[in-house]
Structures are given as structure tokens and as C-alpha cells.
């Protein structure tokens, strides 16, 4: 049952992700991305990492994507016309970016394969529960946690200032 659902959600996730990349209407892409996140959350649920799954929905699907949707609607981007030509002498940096992207991608895949070859880490019962996260956050990772608050504040003020400058 779990295996079937895993493949089902994986297929849906990949399908949604491809839909996001391949289609030209930004609103559709946003909706597709939300759907992809929901499937990702479902996969976390299958792993019994309920907290992370819910965070995925709450923060990514519920907050970040709303922002994306607003941006897309705000800019009112029309569906993209096909580019006149991707390969052009002026676009040499496209090649560099593609190179970086591909090497990163290969690196990630390599990591994944290596992880598959080694034996999986033992996870304690109920790992990834909310209490675990809380415990870790407020004992071992206290300093990063407090720094995160600074980061959030800086991000808040910075983005709001930038957003307002344009008007």
C-alpha cells in the first residue's frame, strides 16, 4: 500500500514539476507548483514525518506560493512568446549557467546514489516529531535559531523596503 502510494505521489510530483517548467502561463505554473508541494507533503506523510509534511504545506504552499501568485498577478505577465533563439553569441552566460546547473544536478544525483548504496541511517521511533524538533531547536541548535530570527527580521525589512522603492 505504502509503496503504491509512494509511486503514485512520485509520479504526480514529477508530472506537476514538469508542468511547472514546461508550460508558458505563469499562473498555471504557480498552480502546478502548489500541486507539486502537496504531493511532496504527502510523501513526507508516508515517511511519517508529519511535522515536516505540514510545514511543507503551511509555509511553502500556504505562504510562499501565495506570494508567488501575487507577484505573477501583480506583474500580469502574459504567456511567454517563444524566444527568438536561445543560442546566440550575446548569450554566452546562458551556457555558463547551464554548465553550473548540470554539474550541481550531477552532484546531487551522485549523492543520492551514494546514499542508496550505503545502509540507511537508523532512525529512532517517532523521529521528526514536533517534540523532537523543538527539543533539538532549543538545546543543541540554540544559536542558529536565534540568528535565524535576525535573518528573518533583516529579510522582512529588506524586502519591504525594496518592494516599496519601486512604486
Partner 1 sequence: MDTFDLLATIIKVVIVFVTILVTIIILGLAERRVSGFMQYRLGPNRVGPWGLLQTVADGIKFLFKEDIIPDNVNRPIYLLAPVITMIPAFMTFAVIPFGVPLEIAGHTVKLQVADINIGLLYILALTSVGVYGLVLAGWSAGSKYPLLGGLRSSAQLISYELAMGLAIVGVIMVSGGLTFNEIITHQQATSWNFWKQPLAALVFLVAMFAETNRLPFDLTEAEQELVGGYHTEYSSFKFLMFYMSEYANVITASGFMVCLFFGGWDMPFIDEKALGHWGVVLSVLAFVSKVGFFLFLYIWVRWTFPRFRYDQLMRLGWKVLLPLGLVNIFAVGLWMALRA
Partner 2 sequence: MALILQRLVAPARRGALKHSTYECGEEVEGSAWTQFNIRFYVIALVFLIFDVEVVILFPWAVVFKDIGLVAFVEMLIFLCVLTIGLVAVWRRRDLDWVKMVLPYARGRYARLTRDPD
Q: Which is nearer to partner 1, 14 or 73 (CB)?
A: 73
User: What's the grid cell of residue 166?
Assistant: 519601486
Work out whether the CA dihedral 131, 132, 133, 134 comes out positive or negative. Answer: positive
Query: What does the DSSP 8-state code read for residue 56?
Result: I
Smallest gap, in angstroms, from Cβ of residue 71 to partner 1? Answer: 13
In the list partner 2, partner 1, none, the entry touching 101 (Cβ below 5 to 8 angstroms by class) is: none
Alpha carbons within 13 angstroms on the beta-carbon side of residue 18 total 6
User: What's the grid cell of residue 38?
Assistant: 502537496
> Binding residue for partner 2 (CB under 8 A) from 103, 104, 135, 144?
135
| CB atoms inside a 10 Å sphere around CB 57 | 18
Smallest gap, in angstroms, from Cβ of residue 57 to partner 1? Answer: 4
Picking from 55, 18, 50, the residue whose alpha carbon sits closest to that of residue 35 is 18
> Binding residue for partner 2 (CB under 8 A) from 94, 137, 140, 144?
137
Picking from 54, 74, 73, 56, the residue whose alpha carbon sits closest to that of residue 64 is 56
In the list partner 2, partner 1, none, the entry touching 133 (Cβ below 5 to 8 angstroms by class) is: partner 2
Q: Does 80 bind partner 2 (CB under 8 A)?
A: no
In the list partner 2, partner 1, none, the entry touching 16 (Cβ below 5 to 8 angstroms by class) is: none
By CB under 8 A, which span of 13-21, 70-78, 90-98, 118-126 interacts with partner 2? Answer: 70-78
Contact 34, 65 (CB under 8 A): yes
Contact 35, 16 (CB under 8 A): yes
Q: Which residues bind partner 2 (CB under 8 A)?
A: 1, 5, 42, 45, 51, 55, 58-59, 62-64, 66-67, 70-71, 73-76, 130-131, 133-135, 137-139, 142, 145-146, 148-150, 152-153, 155-157, 159-161, 163-164, 166-167
Amino acid at each position: 500500500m505504502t509503496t503504491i502510494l509512494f509511486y503514485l505521489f512520485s509520479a504526480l510530483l514529477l508530472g506537476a514539476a514538469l508542468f511547472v517548467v514546461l508550460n508558458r502561463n505563469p499562473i498555471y505554473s504557480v498552480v502546478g507548483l502548489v500541486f507539486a508541494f502537496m504531493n511532496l507533503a504527502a510523501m513526507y506523510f508516508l515517511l511519517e514525518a508529519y511535522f515536516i509534511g505540514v510545514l511543507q504545506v503551511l509555509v511553502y504552499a500556504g505562504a510562499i506560493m501565495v506570494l508567488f501568485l501575487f507577484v505573477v498577478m501583480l506583474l500580469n505577465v502574459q504567456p511567454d512568446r517563444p524566444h527568438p533563439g536561445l543560442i546566440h553569441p550575446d548569450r554566452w552566460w546562458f551556457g555558463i549557467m547551464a554548465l553550473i546547473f548540470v554539474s550541481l544536478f550531477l552532484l546531487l544525483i551522485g549523492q543520492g546514489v551514494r546514499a542508496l548504496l550505503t545502509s540507511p541511517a537508523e532512525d529512532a521511533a517517532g523521529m521528526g516529531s514536533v517534540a523532537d524538533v523543538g527539543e533539538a531547536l532549543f538545546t543543541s541548535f540554540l544559536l542558529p535559531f536565534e540568528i535565524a530570527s535576525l535573518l528573518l527580521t533583516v529579510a522582512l525589512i529588506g524586502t519591504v523596503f525594496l518592494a516599496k522603492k519601486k512604486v
